[in-house]
Amino acid sequence: MNKKIFSGKLMLEGIRQVKLPGIIGLILIAGASFFTSFIEVVNMSRGMYVLESSFSELNLYIQLVMFTAAPLMTLMLFGFMNRRCASDFYHSLAYTRLCIYTSFVAAVLLWCIMMIMAGSAITLAVCGISGKIKIDVLSIPYPILSAVAGVLIVTGGTVLAMTLTGTYLTNVFTAVLFLFAPRALIFYCNRLLVSSMPYVVFSQNTFISKLINIPFDLVTGIFGISRNSEAIITSWVPAVYTALIGIILMCVGAVCFTRRKSENATMASVNRGLQGILRVITTVLISLIAVALLFDAHKYDTISDSDKFVIIMTYVGAAVAYFLYEAVTTRHLRNFVRIIPGLAIVAVINVVLYFSLITSYDYNMKLAPDKDEIAYVMVYGPTDSVLWKDSENMKLYSDAAREVASDCLKDTIRMWDEDKSDFYSENRMVIEYRLLDGSSISRMVTVTDARYAQLKNVLFNDKDFAGNFGKSIYSLENIEYGIGNLGTEREKVYNVFRDELKESGAGKLFDLISDGRTLDSAFTTIDLWKKNSDRIRFSSISIGADMPKTAAAYMNAVNEEYPENELDKALDMIETVKSTADKGNGADNTYLYGGLNLTVYTIKKDGTMSSFNAYPSMYYSEGYGFVPSDECVENIKKLNAMINARKIGSYDITPGMTLLYVEYYENRQIDTTGEEKNGAETSTTSTAVMMDLTDYGWYVIDENMYDLIKLISIDNSVEVEVWK
């Protein structure tokens, strides 16, 4: 029975035949994994804490197995099919062809899996022994499964290509076509549609749009063609899909292998039909450039002379490639006349692709349903927003909701059609339209100021929506948050924010979202992000004059957490730079920098704010330095004498009041030299001392302080003093 389906002895023979690349691969993958994780350990060992690191990043080199070892070993083991004598020999063995096939495939897979497991084990061992890197145990299987799945599909595609062709050149070329051509065609056409209609939301769960083919998406990610390609090796879905495709390719390869004739060795392909298909696929892929330019011409209703030239040259190049493929693979020119009709097939495929693209484009451009055609709408808000997550499945049936949603879509299509370059400057949110005919479309619509106000009214007139919108901010079960530069004091401020928000109602939260238009500026933001999510969700809430209790609590928290005087520090740094510069060359190993940022906020009668900044700074390095002018320094001293770090109340966050935010940063690097005795010998030692400092403060200021800061701003921008 073993000789009919599988033979352990034959598998061991296969393992022996490819032991050289197998051993080299094991050493390289193990070495790369060791040094990658070791370097990471060394970098992290300088810190005091155990840090969490991504196993997929530390163990990235195991993904190379699918691109190197898998195809190379497959070509070596099944290379006998490219030689008539060797093919006859293997077919004469006392094993069925299926047994030879499964045994040799198993040999390739075993070597590759050993490489993957060796690299993974070494990475885990180095991290575990060091005790400096923490790896999430649940994340470990994903990159390993992804690497194994990639090996399955590459091995399957390569062996199938070898059963259908008879030279190493056609083996490799056909394998590349099998593995990449179908996905490349889908990916390219999808990209054309997405870029031509950025407001159309294509489902991320479909076969077409999802990152799902591991080898293809890793390659496109490496070349920057697709984003977030690392996610493909940290999920089980791509691994399962890729493995299934690989198994299917292997099964088809098994059928083709058992039916293959020895006479097919050295032939470009097993028959003329397959040769023609490969020729056509190659030519179609090249001609996609022309299809894209023709599609752009339809989209913009114009075509430039340069595009016309590129289109013509692309089709000429595709035709040359069509005949060149035949000449290279068959090494005969006599077939040129016979294969000319195949160009008609290429032309038909180009026409089908072109009309499919423009039909889809025209359909979506005209698809702007009126409110009477809409059953209900669901508003998802900005893409991947934490706050909108709580209400994104609320169905809105009211006439007002359907009308505003319809108007937003019509505005969006009009803006894109009139001025595509200005389209991206508008704020947008996702709305799903459920039509009366049962179909559903999702669009990322533009929201103008007027539409924003209308949308707020219809949303918060719906009790279910109003009751669910942003409710997660009260429980914090699944949300993390950060508030400006606060650390220990942030919880106090957040509690004040929640209480004030409850008093104002959920509609207020809608106004505070950063995509809203109710504030011209803000004192700070509260940033929210989803806990333990495989999808990044983020929202930012602006805290300005219309949240006076929260704003005052934030300012007082900053002053409590950073109690020292920022202006004192800046003046001290100015004197340090001056004295260091006076020393001349003796201070060449010293680096000093201090930056003072003074931001003045004036609250207007309508609750919005105006602001301006002053940026006095000081610097010294290698015999060159600068500080603010003497007049500017005197103004800073006057401001420092007048400023009062009192407790700020909500009554200070009212129209007509002026507030000052001070941020000071400094960096000092001083090389100290000394002598070290070792017996009779004395050596000179040098030690670099680096010190970083950041301080912040909030103050209520009057007109006199306002005028001083204006002078500091003007003086600082035009006058500096330099010493050498």
* Residues 19 and 120 occupy one common structural domain: yes
Predicted pLDDT of residue 161? 96
More confident residue, 49 or 701: 701
215 plus 133 within the same structural domain? yes
pLDDT in tens, 204-236: 545 555 668 899 989 888 877 766 666 788 888
144 and 193 belong to one structural domain: yes
Cα 451 to Cα 409: distance, rounded to the nearest angstrom? 11
| Tokens found for residue 683 | 């050596």
Assess whether 199 and 108 both reside in one domain.
yes
CB atoms within 10 A of CB 457: 13
Cβ neighbours for 388, distance < 8 A, ≥ 6 positions apart: 379, 380, 381, 382, 429, 469, 539
**Could you tell me the residue range of the domain that residue 297 belongs to?**
271-366
- Shared-domain flag, residues 396 and 530: no
Q: Are 382 and 515 in contact (CB under 8 A)?
A: yes
**DSSP code at position 560:** H
Same domain, 541 and 525: yes
Length of the chain in terms of residues written:
724
**Burial of 649 (C-beta count, 10 Å sphere; 0-12/13-18/19+):** middle
Q: Is the pLDDT of residue 1 over 60?
A: no
Tens digits of per-residue pLDDT, 590-612? 788 888 899 999 988 887 888 88
Collapsed DSSP state (helix, strand, coil) of residue 530: strand
Given 214, 248, 270, the domain boundary residue is 270
Of 448, 413, 636, 654, which is closest to residue 547 (Cα–Cα)? 654
State residue 435's pLDDT score. Answer: 93
DSSP state of 200: B
Residues 475, 477, 479, 483, CA torsion sign? positive
Q: Which residue has the higher pLDDT, 712 or 148?
A: 148
In 3-state terms, what secondary structure has residue 704?
helix
pLDDT of residue 426: 61
Residues 308 and 378 in one domain: no
Give the mean pLDDT of 334-361: 92
Are 580 and 481 contained in the same domain?
A: no
Residue 645 and residue 508 share a domain: no
Are 386 and 505 part of one and the same domain? Answer: no
For helices 272-300 and 168-196, the axis angle rounded to 10 degrees is 20
- Inform me whether the pLDDT recorded for 153 exceeds 90: yes
Q: What is the pLDDT of residue 684?
A: 47
Residue 352 clears pLDDT 90, i.e. is over it = yes
Measured in whole angstroms, how far is the alpha carbon of residue 535 from the centre of its chain?
A: 11
Given pLDDT bands bounded at 50, 70 and 90, which one contains residue 532? low
| Statement to judge: residues 499 and 462 lie in one domain | no
- Give the residue-averaged pLDDT of 291-318: 93
CA distance 288 to 189: 9
Which of residues 366, 387, 422 is at a domain's end?
A: 366
**Is the pLDDT assigned to residue 629 strictly greater than 80?**
yes
As a whole number of angstroms, the distance between CA 653 and CA 604 comes to 11
Q: Which of 251, 270, 289 is the last residue of a domain?
A: 270
For the beta carbon of residue 27, count every other beta carbon within 10 angstroms: 12
Domains: count for the chain = 5
Q: How far is CA 312 from CA 185, 315, 326, 356, in A?
A: 21, 5, 22, 21
The helix or strand, by DSSP H or E, that contains position 357, with its residue range, turns out to be helix 342-366
- Same-domain check for residues 609 and 653: yes
pLDDT beyond 80 at 43? no
Quote the pLDDT of residue 447: 83
Tokens of 209: 């749009």
* φ and ψ at residue 260, rounded to 5 degrees: -70, 145
Claim: this prediction has a pTM higher than 0.75: no
Say how many C-beta atoms besides its own lie within 10 A of residue 313's C-beta: 12
End-to-end CA distance of the chain: 90
User: Considering the chain, what is the average pLDDT of its residues?
Assistant: 84
Tokens of 328: 């290279």
- Residue 527, pLDDT > 90, answer no
